[in-house]
Amino acid sequence: MAENQAVWGIEIGQAGLKAIRLRYAEAADQVIAVAFDYIPHPKILSQPDAVPDELISQALETFLSRNEIKGDLISISVPGQTSLARFIQLPPVQSNRVPEIVKYEAKQQIPFALEDVIWDYQPLGGGVEESGYMLDAEVGIFAMKRDQVLQTLQPFVARKIEVELIQIAPLGLYNTLCYDSLGMRVGQEFEGNPEESSIVVDMGADSTTLMVTNGSKIWIRNVPIGGNHFTRALTKEMKLTFAKAEHLKCNATRSEDPRAVFQALRPVFNDYVSEIQRSIGYFSSVNRDAKISKVYGTGNGFKLAGLQKFLQQNLQYEVERLDDFQALVGDAVLNEPLFQDNILTFTVPYGIALQALQQTSIRTSLLPPEIATARKIRRKKPWAVVTAAALLVGLCISAVGYSNVANSVSTERFGSVESKVKNLTTQVSGYKSSYDSAESEFTSLIETGNKLVWNLETRDDWLEVFKSINECLPRDIGDELDNEKIEQSKRIKLPGITVKHYADLNEWFEQLPTQAKSIMLKEDQDKAPEGEGFVFTLNGLHYHHDESKPTTDIGALYVHETLLKNLQSWTVKNPNSPLVDVRKMGISHAIILSDERNRFEFYPDGRPRGMHRGGEGGNFAPGGFGGFGGRGGAGGALPGQEAGFAGGGLGGARRPRIGGNRVEKEAKVMPIHQTKFILEFVWKPIPVLDRLEKQPETSSSEEEETVEAG
410 occurs within a structural domain: no
169 occurs within a structural domain: yes
610 occurs within a structural domain: no
Residues 157 and 207 in one domain: yes
Least confident of 57-61, 93-97, 684-688: 93-97
Q: What's the pLDDT score for residue 92?
A: 85
401 occurs within a structural domain: no
Q: What's the pLDDT score for residue 374?
A: 85
Residues 250 and 176 in one domain: yes
Structure confidence at residue 695 as a pLDDT band (50, 70, 90): low
pLDDT in tens, 665-687: 566 788 899 999 999 999 999 88
Rounded Cα gap, residues 30 and 24, in angstroms: 6
**Of 351, 367, 383, which closes a domain?**
367
**Of 367, 386, 405, which closes a domain?**
367
Residues 327 and 350 in one domain: yes
**What is the model's pTM?**
0.56
Residues 205 and 350 in one domain: yes
pLDDT in tens, 243-301: 888 888 888 888 888 888 888 899 999 999 999 999 999 988 988 888 998 999 999 88
613 occurs within a structural domain: no
Residues 593 and 450 in one domain: no
Least confident of 192-201, 359-368, 486-495, 607-616: 607-616
State the DSSP string of 238-301: H---HHHHHHHHHTGGGSS-HHHHHHHHHHHHHHHHHHHHHHHHHHHHH-TT-EEEEEEEESGG
- SS3 state at 198: strand
Residues 450 and 592 in one domain: no
Distance separating the N- and C-terminal Cα atoms of the chain: 83
Residue 124 has pLDDT above 60, yes or no: yes
Average pLDDT for 1-28 = 88
Residue 192 has pLDDT above 80, yes or no: no
Residue 198 has pLDDT above 50, yes or no: yes
For residue 441, what are the domain limits?
Answer: 418-454
Residue 306 has pLDDT above 90, yes or no: no
Q: What's the pLDDT score for residue 668?
A: 77
Residues 149 and 212 in one domain: yes
Rounded Cα gap, residues 490 and 481, in angstroms: 9
Residues 221 and 281 in one domain: yes
Q: Which CATH number belongs to the domain containing residue 15 in this structure?
A: 3.30.420.40
- SS3 state at 345: helix
Structure confidence at residue 664 as a pLDDT band (50, 70, 90): low
Percentage of the residues of the chain whose pLDDT score is greater than 70: 86
Task: Decide: residue 211, CB within 10 A, 0-12 exposed, 13-18 middle, 19+ buried.
Answer: buried
69 occurs within a structural domain: yes
Residues 307 and 322 in one domain: yes
572 occurs within a structural domain: yes
User: Over the chain, what is the mean pLDDT?
Assistant: 84
Rounded Cα gap, residues 272 and 277, in angstroms: 9
Structure confidence at residue 703 as a pLDDT band (50, 70, 90): very low
Cα angle for residues 98, 101, 105 (degrees, 5° grid): 130
Residues 200 and 283 in one domain: yes
Residues 449 and 338 in one domain: no
Residues 250 and 180 in one domain: yes
Q: Provide the number of structural domains found in the chain.
A: 3
657 occurs within a structural domain: no
Residue 189 has pLDDT above 80, yes or no: no
**Of 350, 367, 384, which closes a domain?**
367
Structure confidence at residue 709 as a pLDDT band (50, 70, 90): low
